[in-house]
Amino acid sequence: MNINVSKTTLNGAIAFFIAAVPMAQAYPGLHISVTLMAWLSFGAGMARLYVGTQQMDADRIVAKIPGDPTPQSVPAHPVPDDPKAVPVIPPQK
pLDDT for residue 57: 64
Mean pLDDT of the residues in the chain = 80
Q: What's the pLDDT band for 74 if we cut at 50, 70, 90?
A: confident
pTM: 0.54
- Domain residue limits, the chain: 7-54, 59-93
- Dump pLDDT digits (tens) for 21-62: 888 888 888 888 888 888 888 888 888 888 888 776 667 778
Q: What is the DSSP string of 14-59?
A: HHHHHHHHHHHHT-GGG---HHHHHHHHHHHHHHHHHHHHHPPPTT
